[in-house]
Amino acid sequence: MQLHVLPPIAADGGDTGLPPFTPAAFFTEVNLVSPIALGLLVSASLYLYGVWRLRQRGDHWPPGRTAAFIAGGLGSVAAVTVTGIEAYDTTLISVHMVQHMVLSMVGPIFLALGAPTTLALRVLQAQPRKALLAVLHSRYVRVLTFPLVAFGLFIANPFVLYFTDAYRQTLEHVWVHEFVHFHFIVTGCLFFWPLLGLDPLPNRWPYPGRALLMVLSVPFHTVLGLTIMQSTVLLGGDWYPNLGLSWLNPKADQVTAGGILWAGGEIVSVTMLGILVVQWVRQSEREARRIDRALDREEAKAAAGQDVTRPEPDAG
């Protein structure tokens, strides 16, 4: 396996000279030198350090949360940003669309299930913990995490990207390209964290409202995917034809990209609804157990009171 640093994206040529995309390219066209790769390494190190600190003092941290954050969240982001997916994301729009889906939906869902904020609150000392709580409950965070605001950003993001000149800019400029990756992750987290996350965030809706919001997002992915599939205008203008790759059919690849967005959006949305239902059922079970315990305590107190006030039997 060859690991090498890919050349920068040229303003007038893209990642030219690449062979046709194959599954093997996922492993051979690897780029470990990028801002996102550094961010993934730092995030994983901080999270694992927090888990280690808890265990050192005898506290428990669910292994499932660690697996969700490290393998599911950071792992999925790494799979599309430091592998052959990243190498071809300015050459094939279908590959870019896979990257888009993972960065904006799959990764943020698992990151939310990893509860990193809860972990930080349990590890940090008093003053840093107060500072983090102040940020979480600040007006700015309250606005951004309000479900309808986050929903609007999440839905508008791809429409603005693909139907303005912004997408062409991501192909021509490396810094815009990297910024859009970061933007996908942030907007995905803003949307999914209040819906699925386990962290103490403001503006958390009850489960029926969360499920409704998730259902409402499905048609937008369908509309966007179908629009891209049926469009006679190539996304990115003449970028893909100008690459001059004999094995590339930009129009057919764009149809594939739209299908990925359409089907992928529905699959992820249905999966998320399933997670919401499981969380809803578990919360209902916990609430039922809490009520049962409260009733048991009341019955025990009542029985104890009856025993105290019951008169002694007559000895005669």
Q: Identify whether 315 is part of a domain.
A: no
Query: What pLDDT shows up at residue 202?
Result: 78
Angle formed at CA 274 by CA 273 and CA 278, multiple of 5 degrees: 115
**For residues 247-252, average pLDDT:** 93
C-alpha to C-alpha distance for 284 and 277, rounded to whole angstroms: 10
Is 278 in a helix, a strand, or coil?
A: helix
pLDDT surpassing 90 at residue 76? yes
Do 239 and 14 meet the contact criterion of CB atoms below 8 Å apart? yes
- 143 or 309, which is more confident: 143
Q: Range of 113's domain?
A: 25-306
pLDDT at 169: 94
Mean pLDDT for 157-162 is: 92
pLDDT band at 2 (very low <50, low <70, confident <90, very high): very low
Q: With bands split at pLDDT 50, 70 and 90, how would you rate the model's confidence at 6?
A: very low
Percentage of the chain lying above the pLDDT 90 cut: 49
Residue 216 belongs to a domain: yes
Q: What b/e string do you get for 252-269 counting C-beta neighbours within 10 Å, with b at 16 or more?
A: ebbbbbbbbbbebbeebb
> 3 — phi, psi (to 5°)?
-110, 125
Cα-to-chain-centroid distance, residue 245 = 34
pLDDT for 10 equals 42
Average pLDDT of span 61-90 = 94
**pLDDT, greater one: 59 or 308:** 59
Q: Is residue 255 part of a domain?
A: yes
Distance CA 156, CA 165 (A): 15
Mean pLDDT, rounded, for 33-59: 92
Residue 30 has phi, psi (to 5 degrees) of: -105, 135
Q: Please report whether residue 136 resides in a domain.
A: yes
How many of the other CB atoms lie within 10 Å of CB of 242? 14
- The residue assigned the tokens 């729009």 is 93
Please report which confidence band the pLDDT of residue 313 belongs to, taking 50, 70 and 90 as the band edges: low
pLDDT at 308: 54
Q: Give the pLDDT confidence of 116-141 residue by residue, as tens digits.
A: 999 999 999 889 999 998 998 888 88
Q: What is the mean pLDDT of the chain?
A: 85
- The predicted structure's pLDDT at residue 99: 94
Residue 8 clears pLDDT 90, i.e. is over it: no
Instruction: Collapse the DSSP code of 30 into the 3-class scheme (helix H, G, I; strand E, B; otherwise coil) and give the result.
Output: strand
- Is 9 part of any domain? no
Tokens of 3: 């690991």
The verdict on residue 134 lying in a domain is yes
242 lies in a domain?
yes
- DSSP character at residue 125: -
The confidence band for 311, taking pLDDT boundaries of 50, 70 and 90, is low
* Domain count of the fold of the chain: 1
Give yes or no for a contact between 272 and 214, defined as CB atoms under 8 angstroms apart: yes
Query: 125-140 b/e with 16+ CB inside 10 Å = b?
Result: eeeeeeeeeeebeeee
Return d(Cα 186, Cα 180) in angstroms, integer: 10
CA 230 to centroid of chain Cα atoms: 28
pTM: 0.81
Higher pLDDT, 116 or 279: 116
- Tell me the three state secondary structure of residue 138: coil
**Which amino acid, residue 277?**
V
Question: pLDDT digit string (tens) for 291-307?
Answer: 878 777 887 887 776 65
Per-residue confidence (pLDDT) for residue 7, from 0 to 100:
40
Residue 3: per-residue pLDDT = 42
Q: Measure the CA–CA gap between 91 and 243, rounded to whole angstroms.
A: 8
The verdict on residue 279 lying in a domain is yes
Q: Of 4-8, 22-26, 239-243, 295-299, which range is least confident?
A: 4-8
Q: pLDDT digit string (tens) for 196-242?
A: 878 888 778 888 888 888 888 888 888 999 999 999 999 999 999 99
* pLDDT value for 312: 57
